[in-house]
Amino acid sequence: METNNSYSGSIEAVQRAQHFMHSRSMTAAEIDMDQSVQAFLSEMHKGLESFDASLHMIPTYLNSEGELPFETPVIVLDAGGTNFRVAQVKFSDSGKGVIEKFKKFPMPGSRGLVHKDEFFEIIVDYMQDVLDAWNSEQPLHIGFCFSYPTEIKPNKDGRLIHFSKEINAHEVEGELIGTNLRQALIKRGYPEPAGMVLLNDTVATLLAGKAASTEHPYSAFVGFILGTGTNSAYLELNRNITKLKNLPSTGAQIINIESGGFDKFPGGSIDKNFDNTTIKPGSYRFEKMISGAYLGPLSSRVLEEAIEAGLFSDPGAAAVKKLLPLDTVSVDRFLHNPYDKDNPLALACTDTADRSTCFTLADAVIERAAKLAAVNLSATILKGESGGDPAFPIAVCADGTTFFKTKDLMFRTRYYLKHYLQDQKGRYLEFLHNEDAPIIGAAVAALLNR
């Protein structure tokens, strides 16, 4: 049982930790919500008008118009942050997506350097079972959910701009993903695909949400990912995409914002120090503040600098330092239960003050991530004119384990959205979640663009 003295000591530890984070501009309180949203919106406009913006605002040449053909299979590939998924998908006459022959593999380049040819050969290896079972009389159509900054072409192929999420396959950057995969398939003796559509996971999540929402009408759809990485997508009028000179002025298409690249939020001193330890310092700084690939390592850097500043006892400092760097799952486990006897970080913080210090520091990183996620979503929604009727809200089609599983992250994001977007701006939203959204959405894209 903890004494009043230990309780008093823990309160002092919390206050010291809060002061430490504030002094390094690492708290949610440092974020002016409206100012940050306006800066995000400004970069969105800039990205629609030119190719020189931190938000790439990538046109996808995709929308969600058309009727899905039933019982028509397509192959779906899903290249995520740490995993690469392969499946065959078709839609039943009730409109439900049926996933078959599903397999999950490591993302090429996530466990070390791979060269260009090797990258695409690995993908073909992953596809082998579903390809070998494919009906040769059925045209081969592929929906490729490729979750990295990619310039999409009018033919639905895409040129990789650069990898994020610490993927080590630099020779693939600048390459046409669909063209190279086609060549790798033909080289291995497989038929050339009759069609291949490349799209981002956030775009796929948006499409999956719209495909599934047949009973409840929504005023607009937004895709949102907060998992290994982060991003958002929405529908934009063609006439506003002025950087594309030959685009018809009528119609609309989904824009892949590439939100993780936003660079107008300065961050704190620890953000800058952490950024210098990543594979590509200076790039995707917003993503490094809120996504699952980075929240654990960023929290580790916070703990390291807090130890150097003398916030931990000597035994606690030594025990915590041995565990660094921590991944996001380890930090989240501690936040869910800082007394867990099976958690190494909890065991390192047996001193009451050390436990309170560690919790306060890590929790502040999550709190700030939630507010920044709300900045991203608020700007994405305010870019359009929908959502003013609470009975006809915007559907935010969300995906990502980090968003849904990390302690209080989704709850706090919703709090900031309620306080700013609804109460101040009069916009209403509803979150939709489909665990298979990238796979279902990629199948929708392939079937609607045959």
Q: What is the DSSP letter of 422?
A: I
Alpha carbons 371 and 33: distance in angstroms, whole number: 8
State pLDDT tens for residues 322-344: 999 999 999 999 999 999 999 99
* Confidence grade of residue 64 (pLDDT, cut at 50, 70, 90): confident
Mean pLDDT of 8-14: 84
What pLDDT does 9 receive?
65
Total count of domains within the chain: 1
Residue 376 maps to a domain: no
Residue 331 maps to a domain: no
Indicate the helix (H) or strand (E) that contains 86: strand 83-91
Which range marks the domain in which residue 141 is found?
A: 60-203+438-448
State pLDDT tens for residues 294-328: 999 999 999 999 999 999 999 999 999 999 999 99
Cα R_g (the chain), whole angstroms: 23
Does 165 score more than 90 pLDDT?
no
Angle at CA of residue 321, ends 320 and 324, nearest 5°: 95
Does 94 score more than 80 pLDDT?
no
CB atoms inside a 10 Å sphere around CB 231: 28
We report the CATH number of the domain holding residue 133 as: 3.30.420.40
Does 214 score more than 80 pLDDT?
no
Does 438 score more than 50 pLDDT?
yes
Considering the chain, what percentage of its residues have pLDDT values greater than 90? 80
Alpha-carbon separation of residue 13 from 315, 324, 355 (angstroms)? 16, 21, 9
Mean pLDDT of 177-204: 94
Give the tokens for residue 283: 């790039």
What pLDDT does 303 receive?
98
Nearest to 331 by CA among 373, 371, 360: 360
Residue 52 maps to a domain: no
Give the tokens for residue 248: 């018809």
Helices (DSSP H) in 50-153: which residue ranges?
Answer: 116-132
What pLDDT does 279 receive?
85
Mean pLDDT of 362-384: 98
Alpha carbons 32 and 356: distance in angstroms, whole number: 27
State pLDDT tens for residues 228-249: 889 999 999 999 999 998 888 8
Contact between 274 and 291 (Cβ < 8 Å): no
Bridge partners of 254, per DSSP, are 235
**Mean pLDDT lowest for which of 72-76, 163-167, 255-259, 381-385?**
163-167
Give the tokens for residue 351: 């001193």
Contacts of 445 (CB under 8 A, 6+ apart): 62, 143, 197, 199, 203, 204, 207
Is the pTM higher than 0.85? The answer reads: yes
What pLDDT does 168 receive?
86
Does 8 score more than 60 pLDDT?
no
Residue 112 maps to a domain: yes
CB atoms inside a 10 Å sphere around CB 232: 31
Bridge partners of 223, per DSSP, are 233, 397
Alpha carbons 134 and 421: distance in angstroms, whole number: 48
Residue 385 maps to a domain: no
What pLDDT does 125 receive?
97
Does 1 score more than 60 pLDDT?
no
Bridge partners of 199, per DSSP, are 145
Nearest to 354 by CA among 315, 328, 326, 323: 315
What pLDDT does 7 receive?
58
Nearest to 449 by CA among 246, 152, 103: 152
Give the tokens for residue 439: 């796979």
What pLDDT does 239 receive?
95
Residue 191 maps to a domain: yes
Contact between 76 and 90 (Cβ < 8 Å): no
Alpha carbons 36 and 79: distance in angstroms, whole number: 31
Alpha carbons 362 and 18: distance in angstroms, whole number: 11
Residue 190 maps to a domain: yes
Mean pLDDT of 181-189: 96
Contacts of 442 (CB under 8 A, 6+ apart): 76, 77, 78, 89, 143, 144, 145, 197, 199, 204
State pLDDT tens for residues 398-432: 999 999 999 999 999 999 999 999 999 999 999 99
